[in-house]
């Protein structure tokens, strides 16, 4: 990478390092982690336009976070989630038709407008109410698209509610079948069970969302149920493992996951999931220790494990062993 160094009066190679920065905005001190370019010849800071743009973005994110304001990426999620354009959404909310466009271009919304957008993002029922009450403000085409998106969300929510019991049955089966399983290892086995079940059957084992936390994939409700064990094994005698309702193929795939992944510690499984695309892609722009509740999309998990099945020519469920052994040898030997 080359940039102009004023001290050296020449184009020089430079390297980048992170730096804690502060900025006063509207009388408030905003702290954030930015980047600086350092001349490889003399060690002085040099100007690089891309780094300036990156720092402005980080400052904007830090300010919004401190003030509790919605981010640009979250506003884009609203448009995608409800299949609605910037102008129609502005009109539904009774705002100027260019308001959302300005916000997406970087203008910072008021706290009042930000709170409305956050509610819309997180509450599809509220969005449905806004759509029905103000549908005359938008075209029939825009209304139809948004209404269809809301119908799909309602359908998915219904499936998720029905699947809550399924993940509980899977957890029970894993705990009853494994000895000395920690909460960390349990989370990773759930993730591998989901991925390989989809690869071999074409169906999801359960519909609960998986989040990309610092220590790997996590199913939030399961985490809170067992978090008090910390890094200690879950004491299975404290729970009732009767009445587990799983099909034969579900049990067979779970047994294979237990044999081929349950033999490793939670920390080893964490390393494995960190090396895989679904988790790393979802956290691509985050620091290693940065908390996040980003969802690892089910489609991303499905695509990855379907590709793994093809790559390792898995004809039988027992062939999962080839992948787990190869992954372990690459990371831990």
Write the DSSP assignment of 161-209 as a string of letters. Answer: HHHHHHHHHHHHHHHHH-SS--HHHHHHHHHHHHHHHHHHHSS-S----
pLDDT, block means (10 residues), the chain with 333 residues:
92 91 86 91 94 89 82 86 94 94 90 92 90 95 95 71 74 90 96 96 92 94 89 76 86 96 94 95 88 90 95 94 94 70
- C-alpha separations of 98 from 107, 148, 210 in Å: 11, 24, 36
Distance CA 166, CA 143 (A): 35
**Positive or negative, the Cα torsion across 128, 166, 203, 247?**
negative
Contact 56, 18 (CB under 8 A): no
Q: Residues 93, 96, 99, CA angle at the centre, nearest 5°?
A: 85
Distance CA 15, CA 17 (A): 7
Where would I find the H helices in the chain? 49-67, 72-82, 86-92, 99-104, 111-122, 124-133, 140-177, 183-201, 220-226, 248-261, 266-274, 277-282, 298-311, 320-332
Distance CA 255, CA 38 (A): 53
Distance of CA 287 to the CA centre of its chain: 14
Q: Residues 131, 135, 139, CA angle at the centre, nearest 5°?
A: 120
pLDDT at 240: 67
What count of other Cβ atoms lies within 10 Å of the Cβ of residue 260? 22
The string of DSSP codes covering 67-87 is HTPPPHHHHHHHHHHHT--HH
Distance CA 62, CA 101 (A): 21
Distance CA 23, CA 275 (A): 36
- C-alpha separations of 206 from 84, 166, 240, 314, 326 in Å: 29, 6, 21, 22, 27
């Amino acid at each position: 990478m080359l940039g102009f160094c004023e001290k050296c009066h020449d184009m020089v190679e430079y390297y980048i390092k992170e730096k804690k920065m502060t900025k006063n905005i509207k009388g408030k001190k905003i702290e954030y982690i930015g980047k600086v370019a350092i001349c490889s010849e003399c060690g002085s800071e040099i100007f690089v336009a891309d780094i300036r743009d990156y720092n402005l973005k980080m400052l904007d994110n830090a300010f919004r976070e401190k003030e509790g304001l919605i981010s640009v990426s979250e506003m884009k999620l609203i448009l995608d989630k409800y299949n609605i354009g910037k102008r129609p959404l502005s009109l539904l909310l009774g705002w100027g038709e260019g308001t959302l466009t300005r916000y997406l271009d970087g203008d910072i919304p008021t706290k009042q407008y930000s709170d409305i957008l956050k509610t819309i993002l997180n509450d599809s029922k509220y969005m449905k109410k806004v759509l029905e009450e103000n549908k005359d403000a938008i075209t029939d085409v825009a209304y139809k698209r948004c209404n269809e998106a809301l119908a799909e969300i309602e359908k998915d929510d219904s499936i998720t509610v029905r699947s809550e019991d399924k993940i509980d049955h899977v957890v029970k089966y894993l705990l009853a079948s494994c000895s000395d399983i920690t909460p960390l290892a349990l989370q990773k086995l759930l993730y591998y069970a989901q991925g390989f079940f989809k690869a071999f059957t074409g169906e999801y084992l359960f519909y609960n969302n998986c989040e990309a936390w610092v220590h790997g994939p996590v199913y939030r409700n399961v985490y809170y149920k067992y978090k008090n064990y910390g890094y200690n094994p879950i004491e299975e005698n404290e729970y009732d493992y009767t009445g587990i309702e799983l099909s034969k193929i579900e049990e067979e795939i779970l047994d294979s996951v237990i044999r081929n992944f349950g033999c490793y510690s939670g920390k080893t499984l964490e390393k494995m999931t960190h090396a895989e695309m679904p988790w790393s892609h979802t956290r691509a722009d985050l620091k290693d220790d940065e908390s996040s509740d980003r969802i690892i999309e089910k489609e991303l998990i499905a695509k990855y494990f379907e590709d793994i099945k093809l790559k390792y020519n898995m004809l039988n469920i027992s062939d999962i062993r080839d992948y787990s052994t190869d992954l372990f040898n690459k990371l831990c030997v």
